[in-house]
């Protein structure tokens, strides 16, 4: 029995097949999802030949210590920002054997939101060896669980697009 909805299992499976066919290794750097992306990928049997590692960088210190986000970048832009998401994805790539990484940082709620950074705001970055790091941001509706699942779905889709 899987703990993830069927659409997520399908998306993760398709991503793993694409990566396997292209000899691409994956890494994740996750803040607001707390490891859900890596968990969804590793829910699939045989994922160890594609998934190199996942970094859970929930605190600002973890973002700096684990994936090398400069503390000054966090102070200047905030942990939930395009700059930090890009630095997380690039840091995950640099600190792994992966050639493709995804990073997410956001405000899952129910608290913590501001006018500039409301609950549901998530910044995504996807780093691919030899390519410019892609960025997206989205504001998701719903409770904490809904925001985190929506973030997982979009992160999987970004990685699929990067491998295609």
* Domains by residue range for the chain, with CATH: 6-163 (3.90.950.20)
Per-residue confidence (pLDDT) for residue 67, from 0 to 100:
98
Per-residue confidence (pLDDT) for residue 116, from 0 to 100:
94
Contacts 24+ apart (CB under 8 A), 65-74: 66/29, 66/91, 66/95, 67/29, 67/91, 67/92, 67/94, 67/95, 67/103, 68/94, 68/95
142 dihedral zone (left: phi>0; alpha: psi -120 to 50; beta): left
How far apart, in Å, are the Cα atoms of 121 and each of 74, 81, 159?
16, 9, 19
**100-138 per-position pLDDT tens digit:** 999 999 999 999 999 999 999 999 999 999 999 999 999
Per-residue confidence (pLDDT) for residue 164, from 0 to 100:
83
Give the residues of the chain that fall short of pLDDT 50. Answer: none
pTM for the model: 0.97
CA-atom Rg of the chain in angstroms: 15
Q: How far is CA 159 from the centre of its chain?
A: 9
Neighbours of 57 (CB within 10 A): 28
Collect all residues with Cβ–Cβ distance below 8 Å to 118 and sequence separation of at least 6.
107, 139
């Amino acid at each position: 029995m899987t703990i993830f909805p069927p659409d997520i299992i399908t998306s993760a499976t398709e991503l793993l097949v694409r990566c396997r066919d292209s000899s691409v290794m994956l890494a994740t750097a996750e803040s607001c999802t707390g490891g859900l992306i890596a968990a969804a990928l590793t829910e699939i049997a045989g994922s160890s030949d594609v998934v190199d590692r996942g970094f859970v960088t929930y605190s600002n210190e973890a973002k700096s210590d684990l994936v090398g986000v400069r503390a000054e970048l966090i102070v200047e832009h905030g942990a939930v920002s395009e700059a930090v998401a890009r630095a997380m994805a690039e840091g995950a790539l640099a600190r792994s054997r992966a050639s493709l990484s995804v990073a997410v940082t956001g405000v899952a709620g129910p608290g913590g939101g501001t006018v500039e950074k409301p609950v549901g705001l998530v910044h995504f970055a996807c780093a691919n060896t030899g390519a410019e790091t892609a960025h997206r941001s989205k504001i998701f509706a719903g409770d904490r669980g809904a925001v985190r699942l929506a973030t997982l779905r979009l992160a999987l889709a970004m990685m699929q697009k990067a491998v295609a």
